[in-house]
Amino acid sequence: MTRRTLPRMLSETSETAFFPNLQKEMNRLFDQFRAGYPAPEAANRSVFGAVGFPAIDVVDTDDVLEISAEVPGVKENDLDVTITRDLLTLKGEKSSDHEEDEENFHLIERQYGSFRRQIPLGFTPEEGAVTADFKDGILNLKIRKPANAQPDVQKISIGTS
């Protein structure tokens, strides 16, 4: 990418020249905007359809995989958690209505959206090896690993040329 710069408006010797600093800040903002701007097909999606929602934490130990997902405002019966072979799928839907009727105004607000997030486990859990609980908008899953779940990791040594 070619970046064009603004001409220096102040003395070249000035360490705190206003325009060069302004230019750097504007370039940083434009770069950040370009990097994070959603694709046109995603522009109409709510935050629930955004990549990375719900936010999750994963703790991987030798015998258990613990996953916590933040789903604020979603009710327990609006969550769908499934495992297909080695793929965990979290789906949910949120909807809320708020209405105020005062003497001089009438306000109705509706928020709704759905999400779906898939997490590869790296193993297929055995039947009954998953426990789940949901409290205060946090879904906690504990998935016991099968005895034969060995990571397929090969250490590669890096040499210098």
Q: What is the pTM of this model?
A: 0.58
Within a domain: 41: no
CB 145 within 8 A of CB 65: yes
The share of the chain scoring above pLDDT 90, in percent, equals 31
pLDDT the model gives residue 41: 43
Within a domain: 29: no
Q: 10: which 2 tokens?
A: 């102040």
Q: What is the pLDDT of residues 20-75, one digit of tens each?
A: 888 888 888 877 777 665 444 444 444 455 556 788 999 998 899 999 999 888 88
Within a domain: 42: no
pLDDT the model gives residue 6: 55
The domain total for the chain is 1
pLDDT the model gives residue 98: 82
Where does the pLDDT of residue 125 fall: very low under 50, low under 70, confident under 90, or very high at 90 and above?
very high
pLDDT the model gives residue 104: 86
Domain of residue 63 covers 47-144
Q: Residue 80: which CATH number?
A: 2.60.40.790
Within a domain: 23: no
Measured in degrees and rounded to the nearest 5, phi and psi for residue 9 equal -95, -20
pLDDT the model gives residue 52: 61
Within a domain: 90: yes
Within a domain: 8: no
CB 114 within 8 A of CB 49: yes
What rounded mean pLDDT belongs to the chain? 80
